[in-house]
């Protein structure tokens, strides 16, 4: 009896300390994220100081890109030891936290400033992107559910949309991994190409930010691509991307109903609950902070502190983006899913660029 009681007591004690152990397991990875993020910030500041003191003309490359590049080098050379993985995996949390805190820099009037034309472009881009990805998937004879995942990921919000859609349509783990690998690699490429194209076309901050928010899949990469152009472009990119993110529940619900009607997915009984479960809650946090800022709830020093916290959160986020991108994984996935993703991404980028450029020139964004 005493032995049984001691065992039960020991088990309860282990359960009580389980959250502490989980928290401690995050520390190595968080320190790695912080070290890489700070290294990116240091490189940015060092180059800026060097070029200024030596009167050298050199484009300002912000810390976000340096952090991603350092993370890519680490993950694709020496790799990430297992002890770091739990903490590194928190980068999506820091992304969402950063966007919520970023709401302090947006008055609700800024959201309205995005404009009806921009909202219409979001709807057009999503519709055409979904249709084109399905045409490509059939042309390349991909698994229909893999095609659905690629279409949802490239049209809405990348990895988050794929993760949300996978259980809703009963897709295989392998299909999800194919789609995620392609989306992550192509998102990383956009960070290098989008700013160059934007500058070569002399796009305005709003036009470029809208393009990045419409065309880049993952929220982290869209935020980074906008910030690399300018602070103003970064704000517009977040607004446009947040608008796309808000539609994830409806799009995933539509796919769930489609596959359910074909007997290949769980039946959706409560549509309202389904939408709530799939809706990205950080969008609500962003709107709440924005509302409080609009109502003057925060003093100017508080707004500055919140904005600074947002930058620190993004510092961890972009380091995680690089660390979680495994270029070598694409070789294991086969060429067809990547080909569909690549062709689809180029199409979406050109389509949205054309829409934004035309709207900016003829309708005045």
Q: How many other CB atoms are there within 10 angstroms of residue 86's CB atom? A: 17
Domain locations in the chain?
78-83+91-363
**The pLDDT value given to residue 253:** 79
**The pLDDT value given to residue 177:** 67
**The pLDDT value given to residue 196:** 92
**The pLDDT value given to residue 278:** 67
Q: What's the CA gap between 241 and 225, in Å, rounded?
A: 11
Q: What's the CA gap between 257 and 202, in Å, rounded?
A: 43
**The pLDDT value given to residue 41:** 87
Q: What's the CA gap between 354 and 69, in Å, rounded?
A: 29
- For the chain of 365 residues, list the mean pLDDT of each consecutive stretch of 10: 55 65 90 93 87 73 76 88 92 82 70 72 91 93 89 82 76 72 74 90 93 87 87 88 79 81 66 71 78 86 86 84 72 73 89 91 76
Q: Which residues contact 103 (CB under 8 A, 6 or more apart)?
A: 285, 286, 287, 288, 289, 290, 293
Q: What's the CA gap between 362 and 365, in Å, rounded?
A: 9
Q: Which residues contact 94 (CB under 8 A, 6 or more apart)?
A: 33, 313, 314, 316, 317, 320
Q: Are 183 and 149 in contact (CB under 8 A)?
A: no
**The pLDDT value given to residue 197:** 94
Place of tokens 């916290």: 309
**How wide is the angle at C-alpha 197 spanned by C-alphas 192 and 203, nearest 5°?**
130
What pTM value is reported for the model?
0.66
Cα 211 from chain centroid (whole Å): 15
**The pLDDT value given to residue 66:** 83
Reference 152, options 218, 220, 209; nearest CA is 218
């Amino acid at each position: 009896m005493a032995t049984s009681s001691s065992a039960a007591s020991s088990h309860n004690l282990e359960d009580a300390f389980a959250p502490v152990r989980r928290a401690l397991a995050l520390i190595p990875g968080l320190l790695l994220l912080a070290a890489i993020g700070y290294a990116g910030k240091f490189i940015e500041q060092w180059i800026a100081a060097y070029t200024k003191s030596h009167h050298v003309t050199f484009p300002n490359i912000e810390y976000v890109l340096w952090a991603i590049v350092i993370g890519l080098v680490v993950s694709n050379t020496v790799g990430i030891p297992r002890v770091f993985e739990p903490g590194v995996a928190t980068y999506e949390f820091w992304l969402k936290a950063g966007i919520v805190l970023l709401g302090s820099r947006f008055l609700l009037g800024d959201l309205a400033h995005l404009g009806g034309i921009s909202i219409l472009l979001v709807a057009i881009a999503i519709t055409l992107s979904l249709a084109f990805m399905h045409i490509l998937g059939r042309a390349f004879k991909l698994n229909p559910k893999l095609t659905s995942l690629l279409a949802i990921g490239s049209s809405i919000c990348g990895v988050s949309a794929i993760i949300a859609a996978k259980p809703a349509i009963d897709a295989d783990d392998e299909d999800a991994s194919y789609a995620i690998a392609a989306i992550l690699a192509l998102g990383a490429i956009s960070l290098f190409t989008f700013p160059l194209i934007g500058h070569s076309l002399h796009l305005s901050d709003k036009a470029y930010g809208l393009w990045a928010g419409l065309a880049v899949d993952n929220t982290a990469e869209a935020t980074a691509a906008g910030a690399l152009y300018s602070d103003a472009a970064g704000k517009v990119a977040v607004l446009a991307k947040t608008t796309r993110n808000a539609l994830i529940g409806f799009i995933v619900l539509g796919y769930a109903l489609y596959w359910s009607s074909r007997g290949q997915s769980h039946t959706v009984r409560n549509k309202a609950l389904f939408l709530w479960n799939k809706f990205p809650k950080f969008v609500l946090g962003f709107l709440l902070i924005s509302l409080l800022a609009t109502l003057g709830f925060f003093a100017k020093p508080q707004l500055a502190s919140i904005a600074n916290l947002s930058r620190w959160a993004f510092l961890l986020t972009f380091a995680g983006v690089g660390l979680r991108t495994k270029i070598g994984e694409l070789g294991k996935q086969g060429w067809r899913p990547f080909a569909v993703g690549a062709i689809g991404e180029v199409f979406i980028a050109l389509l949205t660029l054309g829409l934004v450029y035309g709207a900016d020139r003829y309708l005045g964004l």
